[in-house]
Structure 1
Amino acid sequence: MYELTVKTSFDAAHKLCGYQGNCARIHGHTWVVEVAVAGGKLDSIGMLIDFKDLKNMVKKATAHLDHNFINELPEFAVNGKVGNPTAENLSRYIYEQVKEELDKNHPSVKIRRVSVWESPNSCATYRED
């Protein structure tokens, strides 16, 4: 089994609804997103998936988050599909977006996990076990 990991970042603001503390106010992060994929079959030139293709999928999944107030996006608005824009919910959201792209374009490559770092010392990871 081969596993590849790519990393990217985006800047965005959010606030945590229902939270008691400073994070209930609007604040921003440079979010770092790490995506790991895996598979057992390499292509004819020895690649599981081109890093460029995987990076583009992650960029596509995060493009509309970049330089936005995430709480105002329909997916994260109150009663939205995803919910409160926590690092946990962001990691699941990005996971689902990348998984959909992989299933369509690279069905032999499976997503393993997505980690979203809101600071150098704090991240949330989503994976389906």
Structure 2
Amino acid sequence: MPGIFEISVEEQFSAAHALRDYPGNCEHLHGHNWAVRVTVECRELNEIGIGIDFREVKQTVREALHRLDHINLNELPPFQKANPSSENIARHLYLELSGKLNRDTIRVSRVRVSETPTSSATYRED
């Protein structure tokens, strides 16, 4: 059975959100310094032994996070009906990044979004 290489990058962004219908303080507008970890699977290495260049993954992640940085996430179209929870942010980023990074032998395998150093949500598809 052939092996799979996983490479991961971590980036951050700062944004505000409010969780609609949440029974507690998080229903009020508040902010986080979010940490995002993106893991990409590579089934093959190129001629110099690289599955996908870290620079490409980092740049693609930075571009996606730039659109989320320093805003109220509730105002973005993907979160006007769905709460901008860590879970939904992770899914949103997974889908966006998959559309840009996935190829024949490369695919985004999971996206983890952390609100705090001890609280995170991960989205992946089988």
TM-score by length of 2: 0.94
Instruction: Answer yes or no: is 1:110 the counterpart of 2:107.
Output: yes
Letter in 2 for 1:48: G
2:67 to 58, 64, 69: 64
CA separation in 1, counterparts of 2:104 and 2:16? 34
The residue type paired with residue 111 of structure 1 is V
Query: SS where residue 75 of structure 1 aligns?
Result: helix
Whether 1:21 aligns to 2:18 is no
In the alignment, which residue of structure 2 is the partner of 1:5?
8
Q: Which runs of 5+ in 2 are unaligned?
A: none
Deviation at 1:110, TM superposition (A): 1.1
Question: Could you report, residue by residue, the CA deviation over 1:31-75 in whole angstroms, capped at 9, with x for unpaired residues?
Answer: 000000112211111100110100111112211100000001112
Indicate conservation of the 8 Å contact 2:34/2:115, yes or no: yes
Map of 1:86 onto structure 2:
85
- Map of 2:119 onto structure 1: 122
How many residue pairs get aligned? The number is 123
- 1:75-99 per-position Cα deviation (integer Å, ceiling 9, x unaligned): 211x3xxx11000000000000110
User: Where does structure 1 differ by over 6 angstroms across 4 or more consecutive aligned residues?
Assistant: none
SS at match of 2:87: helix
Q: Which of 45, 49, 52 is 1:49 aligned to?
A: 52
Unaligned runs of 5+ in 1: none
Task: Give the root-mean-square deviation of aligned CA atoms.
Answer: 0.9
Q: 1:101, 1:67 → 2: CA distance? A: 23
TM-score normalised according to structure 1 size: 0.92
